[in-house]
């Protein structure tokens, strides 16, 4: 993905409601920046086979498996909300 495409996608999803809420956190920790969550998502979908959620990927990004899953799901929901405007 080019830098320009990455910045465009980020601009389209960064204000999405998925990233405005604090979910499943008792302490109310804020979410990671959207840019970080998007990078985790892209790394996940860009890795072939079972490696898409491998320990190596999580170590490289400094997150746990559950966090990787949450980021991936948030970004996917935000991207799917673009369907009415981006897919014709």
12-28 pLDDT per residue, tens: 999 999 888 665 555 66
Confidence of residue 3 (pLDDT cuts 50, 70, 90): very high
Q: How many CB atoms lie within 10 A of CB 13?
A: 21
Q: Indicate yes or no: pTM above 0.75.
A: yes
Give kind and range of the element (H or E) at residue 63.
none
Cβ within 8 Å of residue 56, ≥6 positions away = none
Tell me the mean pLDDT in the region 47-75.
76
Q: Identify the pLDDT of residue 35.
A: 95
Residue 84, pLDDT > 70, answer yes
Mean pLDDT of the chain: 82
């Amino acid at each position: 993905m080019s830098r320009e495409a990455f910045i465009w996608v980020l601009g389209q999803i960064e204000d999405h409601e998925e990233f405005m809420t604090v979910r499943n956190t008792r302490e109310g920790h804020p979410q990671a920046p959207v840019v970080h969550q998007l990078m985790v998502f892209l790394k996940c979908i860009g890795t072939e086979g079972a490696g898409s959620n491998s320990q190596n990927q999580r170590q490289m990004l400094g997150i746990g498996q559950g966090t990787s899953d949450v980021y991936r799901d948030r970004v996917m929901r935000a991207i799917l909300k673009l369907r009415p405007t981006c897919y014709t």
